[in-house]
Structure 1
Amino acid sequence: MAEVTGSLAFERLRDPGGRIATGARVVPVARATTAPRTAGSVRFEAVSKSYRTVTGTVRALEAIELTIPAGAIFGIIGRSGAGKSSLLRTINRLEEPSSGRVLVDGEAVGTLDADGLVALRRRIGMIFQHFNLLSAKTVRQNVALPLAVAGVAKAEIGPRVDEVLRLVGLEDKADVYPSRLSGGQKQRVGIARALVTRPEILLCDEATSALDPETTLSILELLRDINRRLGITVVLITHEMSVIREVCSDVVVLERGRVAETGPVWRVFGRPTHSATRALLEPLTRALPEDLAARLQPHRTPGAALVLRITCAGEAPDLAALGAAAPSVRLIQAGLDRLQGRAVGRMIVAVADPDPEVEARLRALGAEIERIGYVAADD
C-alpha cells in the first residue's frame, strides 16, 4: 500500500502505472513514495457520554473500549439512538465525553488547549449526510474554504484545491455552483473539502444515506480508493449493513450506547453473536422459502426430516465432507459470498433419518448449526 505520513502530498501517490485513481478515472501524477504509515490511530478508553434533557439524563455511550488502527476503514453501525454519532464526534471533540479518554495517535484529545484542538481538527476531515455546501459559492470556493479560514497563502490554495478536485474527479466542475450538481457530485465536493487540509483521519457521518444505490457504490469506491492510495484512516457511521459489507475492514456494532460486538467484517457478518447484529443483518439474509416455512413443524413426527441452517465464516463449506457427515442431506437453499478474501455463507438443508451425532459431525467441519424444525419426509 502506498502511504505517507504527516502532510499528505496527493500528487506523489500513484499506482505502479504512475496514475492516481479518482473513482471515476485515473489522473497522471509525478512520482510515488511508500513511507510506512504511523498516523491516524484512534483509541477509546472507557468512554461514556450523558446528555441532560427535560425528562432527565440520557446515557448515549457507556464505557466504550475500542481501537481503530491507522489506515483502516472502520465502520460504526447500530440502530437509531445507539450512540453512533456521539461516538464519532468525540474523535474531533465536537462532543466531550462525560468520562473516559479519546486518544488520537496516542494523544488524549481532552487535554488539548485551544490551539491544540484547532491543530487536531485540521488533521481530521469530516463529511456529512447532507453535504453542507454553501450555495452562493462555487465548487472551487467551497473546497478552498478550510484553507482560507486556516490562513493558508492564496498562492498555495489554488494548487491544493486543484489536487483534490482531480482526486475526486470534479476538476471540470470547479466553477459550477452546487445547485447545478447531482447528489453524488455534491458529496464528492464534500469529500474534496475534507481532504484539502491533508488530514490523517476522515470521519463520515452517514455520508451515503441521502444517495441512491448506484451513487452510493461510486462514493464508497472513492473512499476505498482514497484509503488505499493515501493511507488515510476512514471512520464511517451508518445504519446500513450493505455499506459496511462493501467498504469496511472492521466494524463495531453499538446497541444502547454499548459495544455489542466488534471485529473483522467477515467474522461479524458470518457469525454474529449479538441479537442487535443479527437484527441489522436481517435485510441481507435470505428468509426461509415461503413454502418451507408454511410446512415447518416444531417437533419431529415419524419420517420427518430435520431442517438445519448451516453458517460458514472463513472457509467455504466442503460439500463432499458435508455429504459424508450426513449422507441423507438434501440442499434446500444456499447463498455464498466472499468478504475480505473469506467465505461467508448460509445453507438450509433437510436431513432425513437424522441420528443424534449428525449435528456434532457437521460442527466438526467448522460450521455453525441451527435447528429450524422438521418437515414431512415427502416435502
Structure 2
Amino acid sequence: MAGLAFDAIRGPANWIARSAVEARAVPAARTAAENRAAGTVVFEAVSKTYRSASGEVRALDRVDLEIPAGTIFGVIGRSGAGKSSLLRTVNRLEEPTSGQVLVDGEPIAALDTAGLVALRRRIGMIFQQFNLLSAKTVRQNVALPLVVAGVPSAEIGSRVDEVLRLVGLENKAESYPSRLSGGQKQRVGIARALVSHPEILLCDEATSALDPETTLSILRLLRDINRRLGITIILITHEMSVIREVCSDVVVLEQGRIAETGPVWSVFGSPEHPATRALLEPLIRGLPEDLVARLLPHPAPGATAVLRITYSGKISPDLSSLAAAAAAPVRLIQAGIERIEGRAVGRMLIAVADGEGDRVLEERLRALGDEVERIGYVAADD
C-alpha cells in the first residue's frame, strides 16, 4: 500500500485526535521516548464486580498485566472468564470496581468528559457482529467517526479512501452492508476503527462469526495492519487457533484471574495451568486409532519401541540426529510440529528398535527434545 498517508505518518502518536477541533490537523511530532510508549496498556490490580438482584458476580479479580506498545496481544479464556470485561475497561466502556487501567502511563479513570472523548479517538474497536448501519453505504459507515468529530468533508474523503485501500475494499465504497459477505463486513468494521488513526485496536471476538477461511484472511489483515502501522492490537477470543495464528503474547483468564501469561510459543509449548491445557486440547493430535489397536504394553520379539517426543519451543526437530542418537533406524509415525514465532512447538511419534531397554534409549534422545515418553511397542512389520 505504498503512498498511503498511514505509511508516511507511521508513528502512532501522530494519529491522535485530542478533540473535534484537533482531529482536523496533524498533531505535532512527539519525542522518540513518547512514541515508544504510545499504545501501552497496563492493568493494575483490576477487579470488576457486577451486582444484580440475584447477587454479585466477580468478572475480574485483581488482574495485573502489561501490554507493550506495538504488539498483538491475545486474551483467551472459556465463556465467562472475564475477557470482554477486561477489554472494555481499556476504553472505559466498563469501569473497574477497584484497581486502575493506564494507557500510555496515564490513569484513565481520572479523565473528564473531554479527556474520555479524546481517549476513545485513540482506541479503535471492532466487534463480533460488525455493528454496521444497514441504511448507510460502506463509505458512510467508515466515515461516521470523522463526521461525529467534525472533520472537514475533504479530509474525511481522503481518510476513508486510505483505509478502504488498506483493507482491500476500495471497490465496495458505495455498496450497502446487505450486499457484503461476512468477511467484507468485518473489513468495513476494521476500516471504520482505523479511520481516526488510533494507536490501539480492540478486537472483541472479531472472527467468531466467520468461517475458517475468512477468519484466516481477517487475521492476516490484522497482522499486516500491525506491521504497517505499528498499532497495538488487543484481541480476545476463545479459540487457541486464533491466538496461534496472529498473536505474539497471550494471557489466559480463568474465572476472572490470570491463569498464565507469556509469549505464545511458550504458553503453547509448555502449558502450566489446567485451563490452558483444556483450551489447547482441540489442537493436540492424539494417537492414531490404528496405532492404538496394535500397540503392545510390553516388548516382544522383533517389536520396536514407540516414543513420543515433545518440542516446546526450545529445541528444533532433527531426524538425522535422532537416528544417530538412537544408533538404529528411526521411523516417523506421526508429527504435529508448528512454527510459532520462529520456534518449533508440537509432538512427534517415532518407532525405533531398542536393543538396550531400561530407558537407556530415552536418555540418549532426551537432549534432542524437551520431553521423551515411551508409549509402548509395535511389531516390527507394522
Query: TM-score of the superposition, structure 2-length normalised?
Result: 0.84
Q: 1:315 is matched with which residue?
A: 315
**Identity %, equivalent residues:** 74
Please report how far the alpha carbon of residue 302 of structure 1 lies from its aligned counterpart in structure 2 after TM superposition.
6.2
Change over 3 Å in CA distance of 1:83–1:361 after alignment to 2: farther
Q: 2:11 is matched with which residue?
A: 4
Counterparts of 1:309 and 1:193 in 2: how far apart (Å)? 48
Please report how far the alpha carbon of residue 327 of structure 1 lies from its aligned counterpart in structure 2 after TM superposition.
3.8
Counterparts of 2:362 and 2:120 in 1: how far apart (Å)? 54
Q: 1:14 is matched with which residue?
A: none
Change over 3 Å in CA distance of 1:287–1:101 after alignment to 2: same
Counterparts of 2:254 and 2:203 in 1: how far apart (Å)? 20
Counterparts of 2:326 and 2:64 in 1: how far apart (Å)? 43
Counterparts of 1:84 and 1:92 in 2: how far apart (Å)? 14
Q: 1:367 is matched with which residue?
A: 370
Q: 1:112 is matched with which residue?
A: 111
1:18-74 CA distance string (max 9 Å, x none) = xxxxxxxxxxxxxxxxx7643101111121222224432222112212111100011
> Does the aligned pair in 2 maintain the 1:271–1:311 contact within 8 Å?
no
> Does the aligned pair in 2 maintain the 1:5–1:38 contact within 8 Å?
no
* Aligned positions of 1:1-379 closer than 5 A: 3-8=10-15, 37-296=36-295, 300=298, 307-312=306-311, 313-327=313-327, 330-350=331-351, 352=354, 354-371=357-374, 373-375=375-377, 377=379
Counterparts of 1:307 and 1:46 in 2: how far apart (Å)? 48
Q: Secondary structure of the residue that 2:334 maps to in structure 1?
A: strand
Change over 3 Å in CA distance of 1:293–1:241 after alignment to 2: same
Please report how far the alpha carbon of residue 330 of structure 1 lies from its aligned counterpart in structure 2 after TM superposition.
4.8
Change over 3 Å in CA distance of 1:255–1:360 after alignment to 2: farther
Please report how far the alpha carbon of residue 309 of structure 1 lies from its aligned counterpart in structure 2 after TM superposition.
2.3
Amino acid in the other structure paired with 2:372: I
Amino acid in the other structure paired with 1:240: E
Amino acid in the other structure paired with 2:59: A
1:83-132 CA distance string (max 9 Å, x none) = 11111111111111122221111111222222211111110000001100
Query: TM-score of the superposition, structure 1-length normalised?
Result: 0.85
Counterparts of 2:68 and 2:104 in 1: how far apart (Å)? 9
Please report how far the alpha carbon of residue 277 of structure 1 lies from its aligned counterpart in structure 2 after TM superposition.
1.8
> Does the aligned pair in 2 maintain the 1:42–1:105 contact within 8 Å?
yes
Counterparts of 1:240 and 1:257 in 2: how far apart (Å)? 17
Please report how far the alpha carbon of residue 376 of structure 1 lies from its aligned counterpart in structure 2 after TM superposition.
5.3
Alignment root-mean-square deviation, CA? 2.3
Amino acid in the other structure paired with 1:315: I
Please report how far the alpha carbon of residue 271 of structure 1 lies from its aligned counterpart in structure 2 after TM superposition.
2.2
Please report how far the alpha carbon of residue 315 of structure 1 lies from its aligned counterpart in structure 2 after TM superposition.
2.8
Moved more, 275-284 or 122-131: 275-284
Q: Secondary structure of the residue that 2:323 maps to in structure 1?
A: helix
Q: Secondary structure of the residue that 1:91 maps to in structure 2?
A: coil
**Structure 1 stretches of 5 or more lacking a match?**
10-34
Change over 3 Å in CA distance of 1:62–1:148 after alignment to 2: same
Higher helix share: 2
